A and B are shown apart, each in its own frame.
Chain A
C-alpha cells in the first residue's frame, strides 16, 4: 500500500526509477552492460513504435505510389490530403461527437458512484464492505460477452419516451451504451479507489465526525478533495477505455448515425476496393485523441494503472 503514496501525488510519478539507481550504478561503472541494455531497449522501443510510424507514413503518401512500390519504400510525394478526405468521407466529426456524448457522462457518473462505494467500504468500514468490494470487482472481471445476450433482449424490451430515444427503446440509444459502460466500469474504479482511500489518514475523518459532519459531508467535502490524484488518473484511464470500446456499440446500436468513432473506420472501406492509405489516415485520426490524452496526462495515466495493483 505504501507504494500509492509515492505514486499518487502528481509530482514526478514515473521518474523515480531513473533517478537514484542510475546514479548509484554509474559509480559502479558497468558501462559495457549499460550499453547493451540501451541497445536492447532501443531495439524494443523501435519495434513498438514501428507500426504507428508506418501508419503515419502510409497515410501521407498517395495510393498509386504505394501500390506500385509497396509501403516500405522511399517517398516521392507527401501530403496531408488523406487526412482531410478521411475526416470528411467518414463523417468523423459526427462520430466523435457521439463518442463524447457517451464517454463524458459515463466517466463522470462512474467516478461519482465508485467513489462513494469505495468511501463506504474503506473509510466508513460499513459492515459487509468486503463482500460489496468483491461483488463489484468480480463483476468487472467477467468477459462482456457473457452478459451480452440477455442485455440485448432486455434493452429491446425497455421502452423509453421519444424525447430520450428516437428508437423508443433502450436498444439503439446512447443511454444503453452509457448505462452498460457505467455498470461495467464501476467495479474497476471501486477496486482502485478503495485501495487509494485506505492510504488516507483516518484522523481527518475523525476530526470531521467530532465536528458533527454527516456521511455526505465526510464524503463530498472531506474525502473526495483528497482523492483528486486518483480521480484524475482513473478519469483519463476510463476515458480512453470507453473511447476505444467497440463491442457495446456493435451490439446495442443499429442506427449507423449513432455509432461511436471506433466504428467510423468501416465507412472508409469500399465495397470492392479499399484505399489502405486513406484507412491509415483514418486510423491515425481515430487514435490521435487517446495518444494525445496519454502524452499530456501521462503521469495520471500511469498512476491510474498502478494504483489498483501495488500494495506493498
Chain B
C-alpha cells in the first residue's frame, strides 16, 4: 500500500493546485512554520549567539568570546555536579526505568487477566504533574513524619532522604522513574501488539525457547519503538526540571543543567550570556540524540 500511494504521488505534479489552493497552503503552512521559527529555532540560534556575550538583560550586550564557557568549566562550582547528575539521570532511566517498563509490557502482553486494570494503574503516574510528584516525594520521604522513616522506625535519627546531598538525587530519579516506566510500558505494549504472531510461532517450531524468541526474534522487530523509547528516555532525562524544582529549587545535591539555566535568568542577578552558555551545552547533547533519531526516522520513511 505505501509503495502504491508513493507511485501515485509521483505521477501527480504540483500543477494540480489552483491559485486559491496555493493561498490556503501558503497561509496554513506559513503560520506554523513562522511560529516554530519564532518560538523554537530563532531562540535556539539566539541562545548560541548570546552565549558569547555578557548581558544582564537591560544594559548593553558585550561580546566576550568564549569567556562564558571558560567560566562555566573552571569557576562555576555547580556546573560539573549538574553535568554528572544529568548523565546519571540518563543512565538511571535508561538502565532501570526503561527496561522495567519493557518487562512489564512483555508480561502484560503475554496475556494476564485484569490487564486493563494493570495498564491503567501503571500508567496513572504519567498524567500527574511533576510538581505534584515532587510534593508526594516530600510526604513519603520527609524527615519528621515521612512514611519511610516511620516504617524504618528511626524517628530519633531520621534519614534525610531529600536533604542529604548523597541520597536525594537517587530519590528524585526513583520518583521520575515512577512516571517514566508507565510511559515506556504503553509504547512497548503497542509495539508488541503489532508483532506478527507467525514470527513467534516459527521461532518456536525451530526450537527456540521463550527467552530466545524474545531477544532474537521479537525484540529486533521492535526497532522503531526502541528508537522512540530511546529518544524519549534521553530527552526526558535532559528535560528533568519540575520535580527537583518542586522539592528544593534544585540545590544541595539536586543541581541539573536545566535548573542552572533557569537560575541564571530569573535569579537575583540575571546573567543572560552565562545562562545561554549552559543552554548551549544542553543543546549540544540533545542535538546528538535528536539527529540520531531523525536519521532513523528518515531511513524508516524511505523503507515505507
Q: Which of A15, A37, A126 meets B116, CB within 8 Å? A: A15
Assess whether B111 is in contact with A287, with CB atoms less than 8 Å apart.
no
Assess whether A3 is in contact with B190, with CB atoms less than 8 Å apart.
yes
Is B217 engaged at the interface, CB distance under 8 Å to the other chain?
no
Which of A75-83, A84-92, A288-296 faces chain B?
A288-296
Which of B64-72, B87-95, B279-287 faces chain A?
B279-287
Flag A100-138 by CB within 8 Å of B: 1 or 0 each.
000000000000011011001000111100101011111
Residues of A within 8 A of B99 (CB): none
Residues of A within 8 A of B178 (CB): 48, 51
Residues of B within 8 A of A44 (CB): 104, 122
Assess whether A184 is in contact with B139, with CB atoms less than 8 Å apart.
no
A114-B32, A134-B298 as given contacts; A179 in contact with B290, CB under 8 Å: no
A171-209 with Cβ < 8 A to chain B:
179-180, 182-184, 186-187, 190, 198, 202, 206, 209
Is A250 engaged at the interface, CB distance under 8 Å to the other chain?
yes
Assess whether B118 is in contact with A45, with CB atoms less than 8 Å apart.
yes
Assess whether B121 is in contact with A48, with CB atoms less than 8 Å apart.
yes
Instruction: Using CB atoms, name the residue of chain A closest to B274.
Output: A149
Assess whether A214 is in contact with B115, with CB atoms less than 8 Å apart.
no
Give chain B's interface secondary structure class. Answer: helix
Assess whether A130 is in contact with B191, with CB atoms less than 8 Å apart.
no
Is A228 engaged at the interface, CB distance under 8 Å to the other chain?
no
Assess whether B113 is in contact with A22, with CB atoms less than 8 Å apart.
yes
Q: How far is the CA of A287 from the CA of B6 in the complex (A)?
A: 45
Is A14 engaged at the interface, CB distance under 8 Å to the other chain?
yes
What interface size band does chain A fall in?
35 or more
Assess whether A311 is in contact with B224, with CB atoms less than 8 Å apart.
yes
Assess whether B118 is in contact with A73, with CB atoms less than 8 Å apart.
no
Q: How far is the CA of A246 from the CA of B146 in the complex (A)?
A: 25
Is B9 engaged at the interface, CB distance under 8 Å to the other chain?
yes
- State the B residues within 8 Å of A (CB): 2, 4-6, 8-9, 14, 16-18, 20-21, 24-25, 28-29, 31-33, 35-36, 38-44, 46-47, 50, 57, 104, 107-125, 127-132, 135-140, 142, 144-147, 149-151, 155, 178, 182-183, 186-187, 189-195, 224-225, 228-229, 231, 235, 238-239, 241-242, 245-246, 257-258, 261-262, 264-266, 272, 275-276, 279-280, 282-283, 286, 289-290, 293-294, 297-298, 300-301, 304
Considering the complex of A and B, which 10 residue pairs feature the smallest CB-CB distances, nearest first? A183-B39, A21-B111, A306-B190, A244-B129, A3-B194, A150-B46, A147-B43, A70-B150, A22-B111, A312-B194
- State the A residues within 8 Å of B (CB): 1-3, 6-7, 14-25, 34, 37-38, 40-41, 44-45, 48-49, 51-52, 54-55, 58, 66-67, 70-73, 113-114, 116-117, 120, 124-127, 130, 132, 134-139, 141-154, 156, 179-180, 182-184, 186-187, 190, 198, 202, 206, 209, 214-216, 219, 240, 243-247, 250-251, 262-263, 265, 276, 279-280, 283, 286-287, 290-291, 293-295, 298, 301-302, 305-306, 308-312
